[in-house]
Each structure stands twice: as structure tokens, then as C-alpha cells.
Structure 1
Amino acid sequence: MKTYFDTQVEKLYEKANEVITIYLSTNHKDENSQVNIPEDFKKEFFSLVDKVNLSLMEDKDNFYGYFLFQTSREIRFDISSPTAINFKETRYVIYFNPIIFLTLNINQMATTIKHEILHVISMHLIRSKEFKDRYSSLAINMAMDVVVNEYLDYLPPYATTLEWVNLNYSLKLLPYESFEYYVEKLQTAIALLESAKDAPADDLNKVDNDTDGKIEMDYNPEKTHDLWEESSDIDKKTFKEFTEKFIDNSQKGNIPNYLESIISSIKSNENELPWNLYLNRLMGTVESSKKKTITRRNRRQPDRLDLRGELRSHKAKIAVALDISGSISDEEFKQSIKEVLNIVKNYNHEIIIIECDDKIRRVYTVKSASDVKNRINIRGRTKFTPVFEYANANKLNLLVYFTDGKGETELLTMPRGYKILWVISGRGDTLSLKEPYGAVKKLSSIEMKDDTLELNDVVRDGFSMNNQQGTFF
């Protein structure tokens, strides 16, 4: 039996189609024309959105309802999802495409609003910018959507979920992982699919409606966050402050555990990836040599059985330098090395330990934590340059340097061709170098996440988003 809400939705959907029909019949050939949205349609449509928001206010997740109250609202027929969001001047603006939004029931409508707000408080509008040079928009969008959709019920049938990407890209991705984890795995899967189908990766999910970009009739995962590009250009710190203000005004009662964890993360002082999670990200970018194999087809020409495929041989060189003059303890360093070995275990790269102060005192390789030796009991002054001379001469792929940060202000030897991660330990707070040539992180006691999931962790409202924390910047 139809409710009054359902009847209102049907009438609005018919009016939305009338708006599109008029536009296509009169202005379709004019590139400068805009969709004329009648004021009475806007009034009726946002009246319906108010009803959806009322359902949010009555729900245990009323945080979303209070958040929506603070946003501006606009109708745009050119977005390829039911809702979208961006930041303009001093507030968030949420957009609705009636053609897609009005095909949903009230619970699904509420979910699409929650979806956009979760992107905001997960800092995805900022985080996504860091990946644009290395990953396709399709991989980035799907990774972010997988992250937020894990915490939502009543998803639209076309929503990008973990189950959907696992099925469509032949993956076995784990639930409740970080954005970085999903985007890397998805980019690899998209590239393989592109090679197999001999088609551009970004074309795999496109829908062509031939409506000059002013009208979008269907959901398109590659374009769902295009409006983020129209956000006001503000720095991370200001963006974070505005977001915290919205969050504070939205907390009017109890909130689910997963929301509390996200909010706790954004309000913490850890505004960047912990060193071990950052190293985990770097490992996906470290080159390793490749070897030919007859067990895999050539990716570029899979039909050519005479061409051999390639497998990574995983023999890139990774050096871990320990400043023995610094204030890091033996136990701290051994624990850090265990975390390094845990991160690189699936890559099987060569690990080199370098003990140094103002010169290199000892160099040896390790394969497991038991190979790590007690450091030499010498306490000279710190000089970074000798390690970089060694790294250049031995053609390293990655250098992880543990130090208290107190050394030269300038390197006498410039690093060549490898990535660098500084880990400031002990009583140190900053790196003395004016130009670090790599990322600088602070050593802290952070528990590494095991590859297996405990059943108790994967429950709604009971799963802690600790593995998401610290990944917003």
C-alpha cells in the first residue's frame, strides 16, 4: 500500500523528468545553457528532503540529521549519484540529483545522505587529492566508497560495496581496512582488467547518456566525487577546523561506536599517518625487479602465447639506519624492526641494518627479528651524510632512518633514486635538516594490525575504527 511519502516521490519524479525533457528539447545544442529548475519544484523537493532528515533525527544516528541542518542544499542534474557534497566558503553544500535520488525509498535516501557526511568526517575530500597522480579516479572513488559503505545499512542496489568489488574484480579484500589498502588493491585489479579486455580502465564503468554533461541519468562510480573539485581552496588546517565545528554542532546525544572513533581521530593531534602505516604505504611504491615466467601470460598481449609474462622477484634493497648516538632504546628499536619486518614480509625484499653516528659503524642483513643484533655501545655525535653516501653507492630502493633528529642542517651528499622515511625517536621532536628529501614521522607505540580479523571486531557499532585513525591527512 502506497504511503503519502511514496505518492509525493512519484509526483516529484514525474516533474523532474518534465524539467529534463524541456531542457533537452529546447537547449540541448547550446553549450552555455543551464537546466532551468522551477522554484515550486525546488520547494516541493526540499520539503521531501526535510522529511528524510526528520527520519534521521528520530533515528539513533541523529548526528547525521544535525549535520545536514548546517549544510546548504542545491539541486544539480549533472551529478552521477543521488547525492554529492563539497565545501564552499565557510560551509558544506549537499547536492541532489532528483532523477537518481527519487528512485530510492526513504531509508536509502537517508543512507545516501549519511554516505556523504561520512566522506566529510573521514577527511576524504582532502585525502583523495594526495592520490590523484598515482591512481585512477575510478580506483580512488571506489576505495573511499567501500570504506564508508561498510558502516551503512539500506544501501542503494548499485552502491559500491566490499562484496561488489570482490565479485566484479575477482578480489578477496578484507572488511574495515583503510582507504590506502583498498585503493592500491583496486588499482591493480583495474589495471589487470584493462589489460585483459584491451580497454581503457576508466571506461569500464562509464555510461554514455549523450546529454552534454548537463544531465546525468545513471549512477557512475568514476564520477561520484567530481564536485569535490569545485570546493573552496583552503589549507588542511582550516579545512579540519571547519569540519570539527560542524561535528561539534552535530553531537546532541549518543552516537554509534564507529562514529565516535572517526570523530576521535579527527580531533586528535595525530594529523598524519603513523610511521609504520606510512611505511606500509611506501612499500606499495617501491620498485622491485621483474623476471620472465611461462606460467603467466603477457599482460599487454595475452593472446600471444609465445610471449612470456612477468613476476616480481621482490629483491629491492631496503636499509634501516639506526642512529646509535640517539635516545632510542634497544627495546624500542627491536620492536620497530619487528614492525618493519612484518610490513615487508609479503615483499621478501633484502633488509639491511646500518648502525651509525658520525660514521657507519656496522652493516648487516636480517631476515627475521632473531637476526637483529644488540647495537654497538658507541655514542658519537650524529652525522647523516655517511648513510646517504652508502645508500647512493649501494643503489637502495628505500631508506628508513631512526634518529633523534639532531644532526647536520644540510646533507653533503644528495640522495639519488630512492625513497626516504625519517622516524624521529626518543626525546627528539624535529629533524635538523632543512631539506629532509622524504617524509618525517614521530616514533610512537602503535600496535600493528594483524592480517587476520577477530570475529568480535566485525560487528556493527562494535568495530573500532582504529585502523582508520591517523589516515585522514
Structure 2
Amino acid sequence: MTNQQDNIAALLQDMKSSVSEFEQTEDMGILQRIDADFQRFAQLVTLFLIAERDTYYGYFLMSMAFRTNYAVSTIAGIRLGEYPPVFETNPLILLKYSLKEILYIFCHEIDHVVFNHPAEMMKSNPEGNPELFELFNYAADASVNDMLNAEIKHGKKFMQAPKGVVTSKVIRNKFRLSHVQPLESYQYYFDLIKHHANMLGEPQQNGIAPIPSGSAENNASPNNNAIPGGVATSNAITAAGAAGNINDHAWTFATEHDEPASESAEAMAEAVKELLNEVDSMMDGEARGLMPARFSTAVARANKPPALNWKAILKKYVGTIAADKVKTRMRLNRRQPQRFDLSGTRESKTLKIVVAIDTSGSVSDKEIEQIFSEIFAIIARRSFELTVIECDEEIQRVYQLKSPKDLPNRVEGRGGTSFTPVIEYINKRRYFRDALLIYFTDGYGEASIPRPLTYRNLWVVLGNTSNLSVENPYGLALPLEE
């Protein structure tokens, strides 16, 4: 053990003694001493991890503030909704672990942020289903802990996994799965287990690991109503034995007003991006070169331009399509308001969409069914008229749909591909002037087409959009895949 580790270990022992003293006396002044010691402890841990040189964890801790909170029932967490982000912990719980286990916990929480798990949790469970949150926690822990355990095997002897951490092996046994691949992403594990909520049984404490034995005497929190200012955010104190269940990943992003989960997820992702970039900027070339690939990959992923998808664009287009004008006797004519014999106009709230389907054989019937399910979900709250044009080398059918169940069992065609017949059909009919055209195709057809006289045009291409043969599609081309 290095001198630096000796200093950290000595300070940790002092804090452990303070925790024992507080449990026996409930002297509130001791909490202030623990609070001050933890700030120094966090600084020493930061310097130690930076000195390791081949780990990015120290640079993350340099970018954070540290806060003790004796009211929370979780070991630790990173609060992304503050600047700088705050590493928050309840020392009465954290200090039940050994030094190597505490270093593991620090790295564990950082890796959750590196892999953007706070935002992913919000995206995966917008309804806030507690069972899904719990399953997500298992999946995220298995992914992070497998990687940390692999680092330990490859020489990171400064940390040690607390007994009972969730790993891919735990996932396999708990959910009775025949085969679970180690060292996979949270998504892999989440997909494996999200239909097994009934197998959870008694949840494991604290997500990272059970509280170490020897703290059973703390099964009830001390009854204190006057915690020193700045020491805790609530009047209640949570000791180790009263720690909650597997909820250490209840990440939140504080906002002034309630907002949809999707917006909270975006805010979290942006905070993660900012933190990753700040950490990356601290490193020199040598330090950056020694970072594990997952960190550089996370930085690149965070800064990658957002991938547009056709459903998101369609939602925006639906909101911008101009309403049709219809004559009405209930309003005066705007140009000649004195002429009571002339009709005025009002906006029709009917949304016009024309969906052209390339039926040359590339788009399967199953894909077409899924496509229309998405379209109807997007326009569900609007009054709409949806026209379908099936076309391969020539137009095969034109019809209107009111719901997905009206969709024919199969499309007509399966010949070659030509886009011009659809464009000419639309351009000859004034009805489509204020419509949105969505053309689903594999992309292979003419190099040039007439300009569609519709309000907006969106091309949805199977595979890569570079497959679209049209040099000027007069609209946006997006891949069918998300």
C-alpha cells in the first residue's frame, strides 16, 4: 500500500470511529466532524485516482463537488441537475464498507454516468413504473460491475467489489436464464429481464450490495429533529441498518416545473455531455491515451450529432402543416368586410397526408403494417385524411385509410420502381397542395423527378439514405431504422 493509501486509510478509520461514536451517543456535533472529514477524504481519493494515471475516475471527481446527506437511504449518487455535478453520499451507510470497497463504489457511480444510464433510465420507463426502474437498476449494475470486476482482474487492485454486487452471473441466476453473456451493455441485460418482474422477490438492498454485517443494531434511525445546518437536507437521519431497497439509481434532474420524462432525459444527457467534455479537457495527450476505450467512446457518442428519425420529423411536420381554408357565412370577407353577401373563410383543422409506398418488393407487408401503426399514433389526436398510393413501375392502387385495421392484407405491385407516376398523380390534383407527402422506398429508381407540389415532402428510405437514387428529392430523406 502506498503512503497516499496509508493516509486515506487512516482518515477512513477516523471516520468509522466517528460513525460508531455517533451511533452510541447520537451527538449531532459528530456529524459535522464526519462531514468535514469526508470532504478531505474525497480530495485524497481524487488525488490517489489521478495518480493511478490509467484511470479516468480521478478526473471525474475533480469535476464534482461533494456533499454528505444523512437523510438519504442510498449509499451514493451523482446529482446531475447541479453545477458542478454533486457526488452525494450518506456516510452512515458508506462508511460501513472497506476502503477498497468504497473506491469501487465511487468508480461504480462514475461509470453509470459515463454510460449515460441516468438519461437511459428515464427513456426506458417514461411512465415511472417502479418495477421497471428496479429491473433497470439490475441491468445497469450488471453492466457496470462486470466491467469494474474485469478491471480488477487486469490489475486495478486498489478497489474491490463489495460482497453481493449485481453482475451478469447474478442476473442469470436470479431470473433463471440459461445463458447470459458477460460484459454487455445495460440494454442487453434489460432486454433479457424486463419481462421477469414477477421473479424479483425480495429486492437486494442498495443496488450496489447489501449493507455489511455488523450494522444490524441500526435497524431504526435515531430520533433527531435538529441536524446541524449544511449537514443534511432533511430532519430524518438514515443509518445503515435503515437503508432503503434497490433504489440507489433514482436519478433525478431538478427543474422549476414538472416536465415530461423525455425532456428530463434530454436534460440529463446534456449534463452528462458537459461533464464528459470537461473531464476530457482536463487530460493531456498522455493521460487521454491511457484512458480505457469506453471513456473515449462515451465522449465521441455524447458529441455525435443527434440522429434524426422519420417519426420525430413527422411529428414536427404535423405541427407545422398549414390548415386548409374553407368558406363560411359565419365570418366576414377580410378583403371586403362591408359586403355581407360575401363569405369569409376559416381554417379547416383537417390534416392531409399522402403516403406513397414503393411496392417493388423491398418493403415487406410486416414493415408496412408497422409504418402505418406509427403514422396513426402520431396523428391520433388530429382530424386527418390519409391517402395511400401504392406504386411500383406504375400506380397500382389509391385509397384512404381511417385506421390501421383498414389496411389491406398485402400491397399490390412487386415490379420495378418508378417515383414519377406518384408525383404526377399528386401534381394533377389540387387537393394535395396542402398535404404532407411521405414516400417509403428502398431508394432505387430514377435520378430525377418532377417537383412535388405538396406542402412538405419526406422520404423514408430502407437502409442507408445514400440508396436514394433521386439527386434532388425536394425534401428530407431519412432512414427507416431509428
Please state which band the TM-score falls in when normalised by the shorter chain: 0.5 to 0.7
User: Cα 1:76–1:424, aligned 2, differ >3 Å: closer, same or farther?
Assistant: same
| Higher RCO structure, 1 or 2 (CA under 8 Å, sep 6+) | 1
Structure 2 counterparts to residues 188-267 of structure 1, below 5 A: 188-191=195-198, 193=199, 204-205=203-204, 209-211=219-221, 214-217=237-240, 222-228=246-252, 230=254, 235=267, 238-239=270-271, 241-252=273-284, 253=287, 254=289, 255-267=291-303
Give the equivalent residue in structure 1 for 2:416.
376
CA distance in 2, matches of 1:256, 1:3: 27
CA distance in 2, matches of 1:50, 1:104: 18
Structure 2 counterparts to residues 13-28 of structure 1, below 5 A: 13-20=16-23
CA distance in 2, matches of 1:10, 1:189: 42
Is the contact between residue 67 and residue 250 of structure 1 (CA under 8 Å) also seen in structure 2? no
Is the contact between residue 461 and residue 480 of structure 2 (CA under 8 Å) also seen in structure 1? no
Q: TM-score, normalised by structure 1?
A: 0.55
Q: Kindly, what percent of the aligned residue pairs are identical?
A: 16
User: Cα 1:231–1:217, aligned 2, differ >3 Å: closer, same or farther?
Assistant: farther
Report whether the alignment pairs 1:139 with 2:135: yes
- Offset of residue 167 of structure 1: 1.9
- Offset of residue 63 of structure 1: 1.9
User: Cα 1:122–1:322, aligned 2, differ >3 Å: closer, same or farther?
Assistant: farther
Structure of greater Rg: 2
CA distance in 1, matches of 2:192, 2:102: 30
CA distance in 2, matches of 1:230, 1:22: 35
Match of 2:479 among 431, 434, 442: 442
Give the equivalent residue in structure 2 for 1:58.
51
- Offset of residue 431 of structure 1: 11
One-letter identity of the residue aligned with 1:180: Q
Q: Which moved more, 1:206-215 or 1:164-173?
A: 206-215
Deviations 1:96-133 (CA, angstroms, capped at 9, x unpaired): 22233223333332222222222212222211112222
CA distance in 2, matches of 1:360, 1:182: 45
One-letter identity of the residue aligned with 2:12: V
Give the equivalent residue in structure 1 for 2:91.
98
CA distance in 2, matches of 1:266, 1:375: 43
CA distance in 2, matches of 1:237, 1:356: 42
User: Cα 1:3–1:240, aligned 2, differ >3 Å: closer, same or farther?
Assistant: closer
Is the contact between residue 85 and residue 116 of structure 1 (CA under 8 Å) also seen in structure 2? yes
User: Cα 1:77–1:408, aligned 2, differ >3 Å: closer, same or farther?
Assistant: farther
Deviations 1:231-254 (CA, angstroms, capped at 9, x unpaired): 786736743552343233343312
Structure 2 counterpart SS, 1:88: coil
CA distance in 1, matches of 2:31, 2:418: 79
One-letter identity of the residue aligned with 1:95: E
Structure 2 counterpart SS, 1:94: strand
**RMSD, aligned CA:** 5.0
Structure 1 counterpart SS, 2:66: strand
Structure 2 counterparts to residues 124-163 of structure 1, below 5 A: 124-132=117-125, 133=127, 136-153=132-149, 154-163=160-169
Is the contact between residue 358 and residue 441 of structure 2 (CA under 8 Å) also seen in structure 1? no
- Offset of residue 157 of structure 1: 1.6
Question: Which blocks of at least 5 consecutive residues in structure 1 are unaligned?
Answer: 26-34, 195-200, 276-320, 341-353, 367-372, 386-399, 412-419, 434-439, 445-469
Structure 1 counterpart SS, 2:147: coil
Count of residues in correspondence between the two structures? 329
Report whether the alignment pairs 1:324 with 2:347: no
Is the contact between residue 143 and residue 183 of structure 2 (CA under 8 Å) also seen in structure 1? yes
CA distance in 1, matches of 2:144, 2:390: 43
- Offset of residue 169 of structure 1: 2.2
Report whether the alignment pairs 1:11 with 2:52: no
Q: TM-score, normalised by structure 2?
A: 0.54
Give the equivalent residue in structure 1 for 2:180.
173
CA distance in 2, matches of 1:274, 1:432: 12
Is the contact between residue 76 and residue 96 of structure 1 (CA under 8 Å) also seen in structure 2? yes
Give the equivalent residue in structure 1 for 2:349.
none
Give the equivalent residue in structure 2 for 1:111.
104
Give the equivalent residue in structure 2 for 1:293.
none
